[in-house]
Amino acid sequence: MSGASGAAGAVVTGIGLVGPLGRTVDELYDALCAGRSGVTAPPADHLLAGVVEAAAFGPPIEPSSVLPPVEARVVDRGIVMALRAAEDAVADACLEIGRDVDARRTAVMIGGVGGLATMSEQAVARAGRGRFGISPYLLPGVLPNMAAARIAIKFGARGYSSAVGTACAAGAQSIGEGLRILRAGEADVVLCGCTEEPLFPAFADGFGNARALASGWTDPAQASRPFDRRRNGLVLGEGAGVVVLERPEFARARGARSYGRVLGWGASTDGFHPTAPRPDGEGAADAMRLALRDAGAAPDEVGYVCAHGTSTKAGDAAEASAVLAVFGPHQPPISSLKGATGHLLGVSGVFSAAVSLLGLRRGRLPATRNLDDPDPKCADLDLIRDSPRPADGAKLALVNAFGFGGHNISLVLAA
């Protein structure tokens, strides 16, 4: 259980996104509703050219735009993306730490695998030049807490700061942990999110050799197809996402704009396998039930489920079983963003939360791209296909994010 049932939620006052399909939540949401794809073949000059057939790339960001020039030369791209997303989120919230909020009452919670690309590059450098090939900035480039640390340093945040490493559940868990911190009265503001930079050969080969990557698609934009009968794997993507969470009373006192609220969250563990989900989906179902209880909400109050939906055979089928078990005869509309964005690993939960809030507020729920022929194991879900679905006054959304190792996180959001 992740908090007292019905306890106060947190207000989302700022959102910053870096990834395929746009630089703002409005651009991302509009692209999804228009049916566009951020999945492409790797450019000829990219390290992944010839390694994978499809990937989802974030925009280029000049490191010196977010860091002093000396540090910018050696920082990992994942940290650069996290800093840009944090800058955008804080600006979006019209928040100045130290002026609008006490720095000691500002927390940072950022997930992600860490600087694996930097580690890979440095391993090659050491193989060529020995110990003298290793940069003295290696450790601040690869440690998984460094995105959170860099954000805290940049904004002068001096409250609780930590990193979440629960694989593809990390971004959603960061939001849940942020809610926990605010409920406990340990902070007034939390910068929550995740950053991932998996688009380099060793990491991609790990997925490929595990037969987890989509393959055989002439058009890369068709490769990621959650819940579809012909899906045969995921498409790796990169990006970062940060949201600003505030205590409701604090946000109201400073007149902050609200995207909506995080009402509750649930966390569970499959206890089953290092990479495969429980086939019956019971671990995922536990997380959803806990999130609903934490939010003080009933299943029939949920008007939209933003699925984890990675486009893998086992994962999508297990999630379908879980959603059917939790919601029974009341099946809310459900879709996955990953048909259009690819799998952004832990960042996916942040993107899903942002899009879900906009979907509730704007009254249109995005469809799953490439869902042409639903898998019979998923066909009993109320799948949003082809075009966006009217939200019909829905006020609550549930977001799923599940990670390797059986880490399951669900969030309940309100417009």
Q: Any idea which residues carry the catalytic annotation?
A: 168, 308, 343
Phi, psi of 303 (to 5 degrees): -105, 0
Residue 122: which H helix or E strand, with range?
helix 116-129
Q: How many CA atoms lie within 13 A of 239 on its CB side?
A: 36
Render 130-161 in DSSP notation, one character per residue. GGGGS-TTHHHHH-TTHHHHHHHHHHT--S-E
CA 141 to chain centre: 21
Burial class (CB in 10 A: 0-12, 13-18, 19+), 249: exposed
Strands 189-196 and 239-246: antiparallel
Lookup: tokens for 35: 């049916």
- CA distances to 91, 130, 204, 297, 409 from 11, rounded to whole Å, are 16, 50, 36, 17, 19
Q: How far apart are CA 267 and CA 348, in angstroms?
A: 16
Q: How far apart are CA 399 and CA 310, in angstroms?
A: 13
Q: How far apart are CA 52 and CA 213, in angstroms?
A: 8
